């Protein structure tokens, strides 16, 4: 069938049209997406409350299941990090759901913006969720399970939390973007994320254990902090390189 | 403005669209008819750069897709079956977000909300609005950045006659924009069209100037 159609010109006088629209700056787009994400979370309260309640429930369960008055060192660090990582899965699973279900991806893809802005904004969103979670979960862990006072461990713990959270945010965002377009996203997200979180839980637990020692608390070993930092950097680069392709058809 | 030559798109083994060739000049309106599953939405999504063509050439606003898709983003306005809006956000918050993505000034949000008569409910969550109101907000979103090409999938769905009149200056012929419209309404669609494309099972069955097409021919596509 021929594509040439003898049709009249457009009925309304067309206004002069613009050329290519200038692209909106990367950080301006990041700020726009991040603000929207936080607004949606404030309106729905879907992710952070669920992550927090999960953590608190898990600490209570450990408190009774271990049948001991307190934990410290390796055991304390293990309980803290396993709980935080499982709680983070709840946030990872919800990260792109509104975009996938309500057309947010399409609206974003139609705009003259860099795709990587969405990755950065989503990773920052997850980072904010994790920070909010830890503000509640870490003191609760100290009250319910920790034998020693938390205050002396805080500077080292905040550094470790920051490095581990960065890795969780980067990997979680990548995995969530991969899983969200599949029909089994609720299953695929955790299945992909948990193996990738293993180095984080190793590094973070090893770094945290000396901080939580009841007898000789000490600063985390530099090699575990460096391990976390390198893992963050590695996955940051991988995610930055891959993310655009995940959004494309 | 729009030039397709042998456009094809598959989903797995199934060809959703094949052998579509046509051209459209600036300011013209192409209306696409066809039964459910004929490929109308697929055609719109290819033109919107959301789906890659698997064969043929596609030029939109002078850019070749998919390689130069970046050049047309921000110049297209898509109104699909989904409103592309967040249910928990208000019309104003949704459009403010879109305005920031599109790089248009904030005052434009108030202008388009006024134009679709949603200003009085602009701060309620979208989920509280009727489907017709949501459609009006979706229309406001589609024209927020004053696109050169409008891609409209049944744009008047859920709208009452007064609302249709209200949105006419934004997405109707009077807007002066080049438009591709998917429609199931032979009478209304023909009245809008300069060029008519009839699709059946992804293949073009009818491609003609609208003045040479009868509504009976369009109804035949659905039999």
- Mean pLDDT for A161-178 is 96
Q: Which residues of B touch A121 (CB under 8 A)?
A: none
Residue A203 has pLDDT above 80, yes or no: yes
Instruction: Give residue A16's pLDDT band: very low, low, confident or very high (50, 70, 90).
Output: very low
Q: Which residues of A touch B71 (CB under 8 A)?
A: 20
* Residue from B84, B125, B135, B178 to probe the interface with A (highest A Cβ count within 10 Å): B84
In whole angstroms, give the CA distance from residue B89 to residue A102.
11
Query: Tell me: the pLDDT tens digits for A89-102?
Result: 999 999 999 999 89
Residue A18 has pLDDT above 80, yes or no: no
In whole angstroms, give the CA distance from residue A34 to residue A117.
9
Output the pLDDT for position A3: 57
B93 to A106: CB separation less than 8 angstroms, yes or no: no
Output the pLDDT for position A15: 43
- Mean pLDDT for A76-88 is 96
Q: Which of A159, A139, A167, A169 is nearest to A208 (CA)?
A: A159
- Mean pLDDT for B85-110 is 96
CB atoms within 10 A of CB B25: 17
Percent of chain B with pLDDT over 90: 91
- Mean pLDDT for B86-94 is 96
Q: Which residues of A touch B102 (CB under 8 A)?
A: 21, 24, 111-112
More reliable by pLDDT, A109 or A183: A109
Residue B179 has pLDDT above 80, yes or no: yes
Residue A4 has pLDDT above 70, yes or no: no
Residue A214 has pLDDT above 90, yes or no: no
Residue A249 has pLDDT above 80, yes or no: no
- Chain A, chain B: beta-carbon pairs less than 8 Å apart: 157
Nearest-by-CA chain A residue for B61: A19
Percent of chain A with pLDDT over 70: 92
Output the pLDDT for position A13: 42
**Helix, strand, coil percentages for chain A (3-state, nearest 5):** 75, 0, 25
In whole angstroms, give the CA distance from residue B163 to residue A242.
44
Residue B2 has pLDDT above 50, yes or no: yes
Residue B5 has pLDDT above 70, yes or no: yes
Nearest-by-CA chain B residue for A9: B28
Instruction: Give residue B148's pLDDT band: very low, low, confident or very high (50, 70, 90).
Output: very high
Q: How many residues does chain A have?
A: 249
Instruction: Give residue B223's pLDDT band: very low, low, confident or very high (50, 70, 90).
Output: confident
Output the pLDDT for position A8: 58
Please compute, for residue A199, the number of CA atoms within 13 A of its CA located in the half-sphere on the CB side: 17
| Cβ contact B179:B208 at 8 Å | no
Query: Tell me: the pLDDT tens digits for A21-54?
Result: 778 899 999 999 999 999 999 999 999 999 999 9
Percent of chain B with pLDDT over 70: 100
pTM above 0.80, yes or no: yes
* Global ipTM: 0.91
- Mean pLDDT for A136-148 is 92
**Helix, strand, coil percentages for chain B (3-state, nearest 5):** 35, 30, 35
Query: Tell me: the pLDDT tens digits for A115-125?
Result: 999 999 999 99
What's the CATH fold of domain B1-75+149-155+177-223? Rossmann fold (3.40.50)
* Residue from A2, A5, A16 to probe the interface with B (highest B Cβ count within 10 Å): A5
Output the pLDDT for position B76: 95
Query: Tell me: the pLDDT tens digits for B64-86?
Result: 999 999 999 999 999 998 999 99
Distance of CA B130 to the CA centre of its chain: 21
Residue A154 has pLDDT above 50, yes or no: yes
Delimit the domains of chain B by residue range: 1-75+149-155+177-223, 81-146
Q: How far is A110 from chain B (nearest CA, A)?
A: 5
Q: How far is B16 from chain A (nearest CA, A)?
A: 15
Averaged pLDDT of chain B: 94
Averaged pLDDT of chain A: 90
Q: What is the DSSP string of B98-146?
A: HHHHHT--THHHHHHHHHTT-GGGTTS-GGGS-HHHHHHHHHHHHHTT-
């Amino acid at each position: 069938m021929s594509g040439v159609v003898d049709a009249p010109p457009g009925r309304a006088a067309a206004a002069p049209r613009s050329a290519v629209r200038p692209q909106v700056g990367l950080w301006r787009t990041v700020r726009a997406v991040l603000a929207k994400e936080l607004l949606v979370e404030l309106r729905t309260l879907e992710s952070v409350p669920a992550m927090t309640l999960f953590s608190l429930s898990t600490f209570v369960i450990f408190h009774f299941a271990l049948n001991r008055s307190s934990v410290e060192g390796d055991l304390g660090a293990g309980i803290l990090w396993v709980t935080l990582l499982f709680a983070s899965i709840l946030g990872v699973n919800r990260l792109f759901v509104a975009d996938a279900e309500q057309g947010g991806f399409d609206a974003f893809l139609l705009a003259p913006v860099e795709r990587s802005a969405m990755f950065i904004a989503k990773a920052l969103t997850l980072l904010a969720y994790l920070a909010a979670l830890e503000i509640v979960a870490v003191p609760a862990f100290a009250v319910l399970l920790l034998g020693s006072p938390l205050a002396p461990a805080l500077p080292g713990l905040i550094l470790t939390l920051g490095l581990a959270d960065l890795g969780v945010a980067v990997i979680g965002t990548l995995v969530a973007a991969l899983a969200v377009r599949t029909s089994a996203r609720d299953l695929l997200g955790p299945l992909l994320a948990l193996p990738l979180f293993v180095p984080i839980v190793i590094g973070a637990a090893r770094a945290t254990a000396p901080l939580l020692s009841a007898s000789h608390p000490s600063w985390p070993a530099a090699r575990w902090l460096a391990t976390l930092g390198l893992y963050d950097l590695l996955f940051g680069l991988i995610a930055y390189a891959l993310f655009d392709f995940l959004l494309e058809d | 403005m729009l030039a397709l030559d042998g456009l094809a798109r598959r989903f797995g083994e199934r060809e959703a669209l094949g052998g579509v060739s046509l051209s459209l000049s600036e300011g013209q309106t192409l209306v696409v008819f066809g039964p459910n599953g004929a490929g109308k939405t697929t055609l719109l999504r290819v033109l919107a750069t959301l789906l890659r063509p698997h064969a043929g050439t596609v030029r939109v606003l002078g850019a070749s897709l998919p390689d130069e898709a970046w050049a047309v983003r921000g110049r297209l306005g898509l109104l699909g079956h989904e409103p592309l809006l967040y249910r928990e956000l208000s019309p104003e918050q949704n459009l403010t977000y879109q305005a920031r993505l599109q790089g248009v000034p904030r005052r434009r949000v108030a202008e388009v909300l006024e134009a679709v008569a949603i200003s009085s409910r602009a701060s309620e969550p979208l989920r509280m609005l009727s489907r017709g109101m949501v459609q009006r907000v979706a229309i406001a979103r589609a024209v927020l950045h004053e696109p050169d090409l409008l891609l409209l999938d049944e744009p008047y769905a859920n709208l009452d006659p007064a609302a249709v009149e209200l949105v006419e200056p934004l997405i109707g012929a009077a807007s002066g924009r080049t438009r591709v419209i998917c429609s199931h309404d032979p009478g209304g669609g023909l009245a809008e069209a300069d060029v008519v494309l009839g699709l059946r099972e992804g293949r073009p069955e009818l491609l003609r100037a609208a003045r040479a097409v009868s509504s009976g021919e369009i109804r035949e596509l659905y039999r």
